[in-house]
């Protein structure tokens, strides 16, 4: 009898968030589900790990969705590290993160705890997918996204688990109406940010981060274009940050001669 795949589920909105509860239900139809997620919201924490405080990871029972569940006092990346190294009965076949409340497209990838969780699991050789819904409402409607999430995870299980290939996919789902799925590249964008100086009731000053999203890439093969036009965007990710376009150019620089000239200028 073929064994069911072990599916690790995590997120950055916290273990009781409606997004992860819905994701657990979908994954329950595909394999044995193990959940290790932050006990509290950890949005925007990126690839942070806990190094200076104690980590707690306690077994919990929230509903009937998962095989077993744990809430962790740490970050989404902490959750993945603990799951793979200490808690799960064996290495998971796939890791899924989300469903995030709000977008994780374009530049938001580098800030997202949801996405960083799957980057961490892919470093360990596990196919991984992050899911985000473009609705920040805590009571967002996840129903219409379920069939697409099921299809995407099923495809990865069938095509990458069997071939033992590692894949990381960042999936964003538009709000309510979906025309289809687009395979995209990450849009070139940024946040124009500032800090507003405010005062609390006692007159003590503090700062509040505000910002405006600026998209500099309107091409039809980008995630922002897909989402704006009603399509689910799927962007394949990697954790190799090497800029290969300038690698050979840098190799041509003669640092020995450069340092010799600097030495002569300073110490002549």
Q: How confident is the model at residue 227 (pLDDT cuts 50, 70, 90)?
A: very high
Question: What is the per-residue pLDDT for 63?
Answer: 84
Which of these, 109, 17, 118, 117, lies nearest to 65 by C-alpha position?
A: 17
Give the chain as a DSSP string: -PPPPEEEEE-SS-TT-HHHHHHHHHHTTTSEEEEEEESS--TT-TT----SS---EEEE--SSS-SEEEEESS-HHHHHHHIIIIISSS--SEEEEEEEES---GGGGGT-HHHHHHHHHHHTT--EEEEEES---TT---GGGHHHHHHHHHHHIIIIITTT---EEEEEE-SS---EEEE-B---EEEEEEEEEEE-TTS-EEEEEEEEEEE----TTBHHHHHHTTEEEEEEE-S----TTTHHHHHTS-HHHHHHHHHHHHH-
Pairwise CA distance, residues 235 & 227, whole Å: 12
Q: What is the pLDDT of residue 46?
A: 93
With pLDDT > 90 as the criterion, what percentage of the chain qualifies? 70
Domains of the chain: 6-186+217-237 (3.40.1210.10)
Q: Mean per-residue pLDDT for 48-70?
A: 90
How many Å apart are CA 124 and CA 91, to the nearest integer?
Answer: 9
Q: Return the higher-pLDDT residue of 72 and 245.
A: 72
Q: What tokens does 29 get?
A: 């139809």
Q: Give the dihedral of Cα atoms 119, 47, 67, 175; nearest 10 deg.
A: -80
Q: What's the chain's average pLDDT? A: 90
Q: What is the pLDDT of residues 189-200, one digit of tens each?
A: 888 888 999 999
What pLDDT does 263 receive? Answer: 64
Query: So what's the pLDDT on residue 188?
Result: 87
Burial class of 177 by CB neighbour count within 10 A (0 to 12, 13 to 18, 19+):
exposed
Indicate if the pLDDT at residue 258 is higher than 70: no
Tell me the pLDDT tens digit for each residue of 70-103: 999 999 999 999 999 899 989 999 999 999 999 9
Q: How confident is the model at residue 177 (pLDDT cuts 50, 70, 90)?
A: confident
As given in the structure block, the two tokens for residue 147 are 């069939």
| pLDDT score, position 81 | 96
Of 75-84, 132-141, 145-154, 250-259, the range with the lowest mean pLDDT is 250-259
């Amino acid at each position: 009898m073929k064994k069911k795949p072990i599916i690790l589920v995590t997120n950055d909105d916290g273990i009781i968030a409606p997004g992860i509860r819905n994701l657990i239900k979908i994954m329950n139809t595909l394999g044995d589900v193990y959940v290790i997620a932050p006990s509290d919201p950890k949005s925007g924490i990126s690839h942070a790990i806990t190094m200076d405080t104690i980590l707690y990871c306690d077994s919990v029972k929230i509903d009937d969705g998962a095989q077993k569940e744990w809430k962790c006092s740490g970050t989404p990346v902490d959750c993945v590290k603990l799951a793979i190294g200490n808690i799960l009965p064996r290495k998971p076949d796939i890791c899924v993160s989300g469903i995030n409340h709000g977008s994780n497209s374009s530049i938001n990838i580098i800030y997202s705890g949801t996405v960083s969780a799957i980057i961490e699991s892919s470093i360990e050789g596990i196919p991984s997918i992050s899911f985000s819904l473009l609705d920040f409402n805590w009571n967002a409607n996840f129903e219409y996204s379920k069939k697409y999430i099921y299809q995407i995870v099923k495809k990865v299980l069938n095509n990458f688990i069997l071939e033992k290939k590692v894949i990381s996919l960042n999936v964003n789902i538009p709000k309510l109406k979906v025309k289809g799925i687009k395979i995209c590249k990450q849009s070139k964008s940024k946040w124009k940010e500032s800090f507003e100086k405010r005062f609390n009731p006692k007159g003590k000053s503090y700062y509040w981060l505000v910002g405006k999203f600026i998209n500099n890439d309107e091409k039809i093969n980008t995630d922002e274009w897909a989402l704006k036009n009603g399509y689910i965007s799927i962007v394949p990710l990697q954790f190799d940050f090497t800029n290969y376009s300038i690698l050979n150019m840098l190799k041509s620089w003669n640092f020995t001669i450069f340092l010799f000239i600097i030495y002569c200028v300073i110490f002549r």
